[in-house]
Copies of this chain bind each other. A is one copy, B any other.
Amino acid sequence: MRRIFLKIAYDGTNYHGFQVQPNGETIEGVLNRELSRILKENITVIGASRTDAGVHALGNVAVFDTNAKIPGEKVAYALNVSLPEDIKIQQSMEVPLDFHPRHQKTVKTYEYKIYNARFPSPQHRLYEHFTYYKLSIEKMQAAADYLIGEHDFKSFCSIHAEVESTVRTIYDIKVTKKEEVITIRITGNGFLYNMVRIIVGTLMDAGQAFWKPEHMKEILDGRERSLAGATAPAKGLTLAEIIYPEAATLTEENRQFHS
């Protein structure tokens, strides 16, 4: 038995999220089906991040176990032939059988993109949330800075989430703008349910100057979901990268954080 690591990119527009659902196509469902077909075994992947319906990924991670003799690096080529255009493997390799994509230290980076222009754009419709309200990226960055570090992020967690602790660490948040596209890049050791999208919704309020950036501290300290802003739409969110800093057997690319 061997364990294969997959780095997966997908456009989440037409999927009901990563995790297998009783109704509707999912990323995990497509991977299980195509891997089983190619390898002629019953394959079930274990995903690193169960992204929501409509959320995209450049580098989600999954592993699966197989008896097949195909070299680890060749899985990407073989699988990409069968996968639809909106799911493509970016890397594959053999890893030790005890490598688990969730039960170890990870550093995750999400990118949220906002198309901030007068009119919507066909070319920007799939991976960016459109708004014509003027947003100040300076105010957004100033508000975001209060979130960096280890905090209780209860205010930024969906009330439907069931978790033991709402304490997480955000290593970095960068708000940048290039032409009409604002990118909010957030890196942390893990995120609560809807946390990135609620942070983005709150930063959009800061960017429109509904309140001063220092009010972000009160929202954080209040530890109540109702204090924060709306949950920003799924389509603007992309899981950019998952890094395993302590997985010595992975390649350097999978261990080192790319800023």
Contact = CB atoms under 8 A, between A and B. Distances in A.
- Of A120, A123, A126, most B-chain CB atoms within 10 Å: A123
Interface string A83-95: 0011111100000
B89 A122 contact: no
A127 B122 CA distance: 11
Contacts of A86: 122, 125
A27 to B, nearest CB: 11
Nearest to A13: B122
Nearest to A87: B122
A56 B125 CA distance: 14
A200 interface: no
A11 interface: yes
Interface string A77-120: 00010000111111000000000000000000000000000011
Contacts of A88: 119-122
A11 B119 contact: no
A122 B80 contact: no
A31 B106 CA distance: 49
Contacts of A127: 123
A126 B85 CA distance: 9
A242 interface: no
Contacts of A58: 121, 123
A10 interface: yes
Contacts of A122: 9-11, 56, 85-88
Contact of A123 (B9, B76, B120, B125): B9
Interface of A: 9-11, 56, 58, 76, 80, 85-90, 119-123, 125-127, 238
27 contacts: A9-B121, A9-B122, A9-B123, A10-B122, A11-B122, A11-B123, A11-B125, A56-B122, A56-B123, A58-B121, A76-B119, A80-B119, A80-B120, A85-B122, A85-B125, A86-B122, A86-B125, A87-B122, A88-B119, A88-B120, A88-B121, A89-B119, A90-B119, A90-B121, A123-B127, A123-B238, A126-B126
